[in-house]
Amino acid sequence: MIEHMFEMIEAEDRPEAVVAAGLESLSAESPGELRSVVLADQVVELAGLIDRLHIEWLRRVGELDKRNLYRVDGAVSAAAWIRWRCRREGGEARRAVATARDLAEMPLTEAAAVARKITPAQIEVLAGAHRRHPEAFVISEEILVEAARRCTTPDVRRLVGYWSQNLDPDRTVRDAETVREQRRLHLSMSTDGGFLDGFFDPEGAVTVDAALVAHTQAGDRDAEDTRTPAQRRADALVDICRRVLDTGTLPTVNGEKPHLSVIVDLETLQGRPSSWSQLAATGHLLSPDVVGRISCDAQVTRIVLDPAGQPIDVGRATRTVTTAQRKALMVRDQTCRFPGCDRPQAWCDAHHVRQWAKGGTGDMDNLLLLCRHHHTLIHQHGYTISGDAIRPRFHRPDRTPLDFDPP
């Protein structure tokens, strides 16, 4: 159907009408009712159609920009007009106009694009090369286009990078520094949590990615882990930050080592639903289940308040699990004790089989290591442990035991 559509397009005065009619026909089909071979063919053919339409769109964007047709509608630029009339994001509109302008001066690239020899992504890479070194590109265009025909887009991007670096090493250094100057990280708090957004230079991005991958690989091997990849990355980032805080190597803030601080009342520690607790830094409320998980392996300071809420007594900070006990747990358990999980001890909390806030002791037979994910399952998602920490039995929320052989 799709190839037939292009045959009709070439014979029509208004090809966009044929495209629209063809898409109407496609949209009338239900993908769920297509035979497997037809569905697979259509996915491939539609990808090619998208590329071909995008290339033709770029060519026409370039002509619209050249004729200043955007001024008819009062727009200040072709990019502004495209953002408005084509409903594109600002960055996308600006890149399209820049690529279209370059493409108009790249005859060999345009010919290869029309002949469907290179993709829109490769065109954008070549257009960037032309923009940086227009005179040198005229000389090298044939070689670069031929390379694009035979290579993947990442390969073309690397080739163009080497080509540009050889032409102007000093500019490459300046460009790298410009990219580095754009690095940023924003963390904004909301009533529900926080939003993280940022940009890293290539070295920084790869460094962060390597750390996240190392912390998510173990989760990929866990059959009980139903988190999405995005959720695993979010948990990994929190684990990495918590691990750094746990080392105590960061500079002090207001005379104290930085860490997560939670304000709770006695009823919260005892698991009563009418109790309250909050994060000290932001005031976000926490449920008793979350506090129960945090208090398993924490430093606790007792503060007694008068009826007006003023402190009248402050006790010494004590740990629910001592440093010596944690070292012993690391020797004994090695990894997370949840069935099938082998996350390393550095990613784990010390968990009280009988909750510490409800009278559970700090003896070794009441403590075991659980990674943050499985610790959350125990405290907040109905999973339970019977027996003791030496020979624990893990159960799903419906109380059926998880199949495993206890150590």
Cα three-residue angle 187-192-193, rounded to 5 degrees? 30
Cα three-residue angle 69-70-75, rounded to 5 degrees? 155
Helix (H/G/I), strand (E/B), else coil: 363: coil
Residue 351 is classified by DSSP as E
Decide if 219 contacts 234 (C-beta within 8 A): no
Provide the pLDDT for residue 130.
Answer: 96
Domain boundaries, the chain: 2-181
- State the pTM of this model: 0.53
Q: Say how many C-beta atoms besides its own lie within 10 A of residue 18's C-beta.
A: 18
Side-chain half-sphere of 192: how many Cα atoms within 13 Å? 1
Residue 185 makes CB contacts below 8 A (sequence gap 6+) with: 196, 197, 198
Decide if 79 contacts 11 (C-beta within 8 A): no
* Cβ burial, residue 106 (10 Å; 0-12/13-18/19+): buried
Question: 153-183: buried (b, 16+ CB within 10 Å) or exposed (e) per residue?
Answer: beebbebbeebbeebeeeebeeeeeeeeeee
The separation between the first and the last C-alpha atoms of the chain, rounded to the nearest angstrom, is 62
Could you give the C-alpha distances from 20 to 9, 53, 63, 93, 384, in angstroms and in order?
11, 12, 22, 22, 57
Provide the pLDDT for residue 357.
Answer: 61
Provide the pLDDT for residue 11.
Answer: 47
Cα 139 to Cα 361: distance, rounded to the nearest angstrom: 78
Helix (H/G/I), strand (E/B), else coil: 37: helix
What does pLDDT average to in each consecutive run of 10 residues of the chain (407 residues)? 51 62 80 88 88 92 95 91 92 94 96 93 95 94 95 91 88 81 87 85 84 71 71 86 72 54 68 63 68 68 59 57 81 86 81 73 83 84 87 89 60
Residue that is written with structure tokens 């009709």 in the block: 8
